[in-house]
Amino acid sequence: MGKSTDLSMLGGSARYILGEETWVEYWPTREESQTPEHRERYIGIREVENKFSNNQGCTT
């Protein structure tokens, strides 16, 4: 994730530039979601994914 200033358009598609305030989150696989180590993160990311999917993306 990053700031909206790191977002540019290229060929009609939005592209994020990895800026100084950008971070990357590990997205566990479905198999890893069954382990205690990754379960909570997997559920949280899926909830965000579903929210954005239902709203046709983020507001950036």
β-pair partners for 7:
16
β-pair partners for 9:
14
What is the structure's pLDDT at 53?
77
Cα 32 to Cα 13, 25, 41, distances in angstroms: 31, 15, 10
Give the total residue count for the chain: 60
β-pair partners for 27:
none
What DSSP letter does each residue of 17-59 carry, written as one string?
---TT--------TTGGGSTTTHHHHHHHHHHHHHHHHTTS--
What is the structure's pLDDT at 2?
52
pLDDT one-digit tens code per residue, 23-54: 788 889 999 999 999 999 999 989 988 887 77
What is the structure's pLDDT at 19?
74
38 or 10, greater pLDDT: 38
